Amino acid sequence: MSSFLKGVDQRTSLAGMNRMELLLFKIHGDQLFGINVFKVREVIRTPFISPVPKSDSRIVGVSDIRGQTMPMIDLARALDLEPVDMNAYRETLTIVTEFNSSVQGFLVEDVDRIVHLRWEDILAPPESLQNVNYLTGITRAQNQIVEIVDVEKVLAEVSGRQEEMTPEFLEANQSKTKDHDFFVLGADDSVVARNQLKTTLDKLGIANRIMNNGRLALEFLKKWADDADKGISPPVGERLLMVISDIEMPEMDGYTLTTNIRKDHRLSDLYVVLSSSLSGGFNESLTEKVGANRFMSKWHPEELAQAIIDRIDEVTAQGWSKD
């Protein structure tokens, strides 16, 4: 187990262009699940868990791991599978994760191994299931289907946090968006992040389209560019305020999306914001390398809204008015 954990630690410090490493694990039976290694701190034998009164049933308690107290989540229960028997906690493993500025442990039955994949090897869930399941992607490893868990959605549900922009913020910035024809294109594989992005833009009164991955976003932009070439619409840069994209997505990640935008002369001047639930200097350095304009850690609604307002202030100062 120690060599395996060293492998996890080494890989969490790496970042690639349209590549990912997936930690495979089992919850019940032989079905393989996966989580992006970049979200993983370590894998340990489940320590003593102290119950928390009146907590969400999916949070089985809290543990002290290396001097840090964190919630322990029964991932089986969170996915509507048979929960772990409380008398068997010590027989399970805990995947300690860090994302969205939060650290938590997920109880699983067993950890299999790490596999190296290209993002194009990851397929988005069926369209009919996009908003009702806990998956961000599906792939194959060891001749088995691997379901990649939307841990951001799990965490959002068990934490119960529903942050919104304050009325004061909306009132202070309403004049900047009211009666303007701004449009924002978004891309994210997490249903939680997509909903939050769309809600924020809708409340600001900004037209938007939110895609499930970078490939779909690029296809959308190229369609607009083709329409401009045919003379049936203005250039993309005159129609689009900004692109806001997640970094880790199936089929095409945010880095590759940005690279393709910069390579297409019809799109190369677009303002691109890359975001991630993961903190770390490697994201910021790669964001700069591929030519994105800004990096954001996965947002609180008001921080996201402020980034959009900043861009509106910028284009307004440049004299670009979308009336």
CATH code for residues 167-317: 3.40.50.2300
For the chain, the domains span 2-157, 167-317
Name beta bridge partners: 71: 62
Please compute the mean of the pLDDT values over residues 5-10 and round it to a whole number: 44
* DSSP letter assigned to residue 12: T
Residues of the chain with pLDDT > 90, as a percent, come to: 46
**Joined tokens for residue 220:** 């959308």
- pLDDT reading at 41 higher than 70: yes
Does position 160 have pLDDT exceeding 80, yes or no?
no
Residue 101 has pLDDT above 50, yes or no: yes
Buried b (16+ CB within 10 A) or exposed e, 150-171: bbbbbbbebeeeeeebeeebbe
CA 297, CA 210: separation in Å to the nearest integer? Answer: 18
Q: Under CATH, which architecture does the 2-157 domain have?
A: Beta Barrel (2.40)
Report the pLDDT value the prediction gives residue 9, as an integer from 0 to 100.
Answer: 40
Residue of 28, 21, 18, 247 lying closest to 141 (CA atoms) = 21
Q: What is the pLDDT of residues 210-256, one digit of tens each?
A: 999 999 999 999 999 999 999 999 999 999 999 999 988 888 889 89
Whether residue 209 is predicted with pLDDT greater than 80 in this model: the reply is yes
Q: Tell me how far apart the alpha carbons of residues 195 and 186 are, in angstroms, rounded to a whole number.
A: 11
Q: What is the pLDDT of residues 303-315, one digit of tens each?
A: 889 999 999 999 8
pLDDT score at 7: 46
